[in-house]
Amino acid sequence: MRKKAAQERKNGVSGRGVVSGLTRCYAWEFASVSEYIYYSLLLEREYPELSDMFERAALDCIERFRAIGGIILSLGYNPALNMQIRHSGERYECLSFENIDRILASSAERERSSIAALDGLVGICEDCDTVNRIGRIISEKSEFLTMLERMIRS
């Protein structure tokens, strides 16, 4: 316990809240990989451009998943992950414009929630390196969110 507290002080972390929040974001990135690969496969035949966009987004999520895991490790903790399987009721039977709009809206909401959580962590983390690393992740996620929002409006 003392060792963890000393590590937190050394890394400029304000308590376990930062690690807890990072762990939540870590799990969200992993879940996003699954969702975006699913959307990519779903849209592959009829909407190849959207499929490619979601495949690239999944690859970006893998990079962010790794970056967040690295931040957690650098703070002296081990990233933990609980897996949850998609519910069969969440499947899309047809690719109507309405369903594509739902996919885009769901993805945008996922990114908004993740950005908000990461942004909140920046405010309680005192270590400049960690703040900078989280800031880069927020920037990448914001770019994807902007693209999703543009598509939703069009």
Secondary-structure percent of the chain, ordered helix, strand, coil, rounded to 5: 80, 0, 20
Does pLDDT of 128 surpass 70? yes
With respect to residue 7, please indicate whether it lies within any of the assigned structural domains.
no
12-42 pLDDT, tens digit each: 445 577 888 899 899 989 989 999 999 999 9
Of 124, 134, 129, 19, nearest to 79 (Cα)?
19
The number of folded domains in the chain is 1
In a domain, 27, yes or no: yes
Instruction: Report pLDDT for 42.
Output: 93
How confident is the model over 50-107, as pLDDT tens digits? 999 999 999 999 999 999 999 988 888 888 776 555 554 556 667 788 888 888 998 9
Residue 132, pLDDT above cutoff 80: yes
> Looking at this protein, which amino acid is placed at residue 7?
Q
Neighbours of 131 (CB within 10 A): 14
Tell me, yes or no, whether 3 lies in a domain.
Answer: no
> Does residue 143 form part of some domain?
yes
Q: Which residues contact 82 (CB under 8 A, 6 or more apart)?
A: 27
Bridge partners of 13, per DSSP, are: 125
In a domain, 135, yes or no: yes
**CATH code for the domain in which residue 123 is found:** 1.20.1260.10
> For residue 122, what are the domain limits?
14-83+91-153
Instruction: Output the six-digit token pair for 54.
Output: 């979601």
Q: Please, which pLDDT band fits residue 129 given cuts at 50, 70 and 90?
A: confident
In a domain, 112, yes or no: yes
Contact predicate 102/152, CB 8 Å: no
8 in a structural domain: no
Is 1 inside a domain boundary?
no
Q: What pLDDT is stored for residue 76 in this prediction?
A: 85
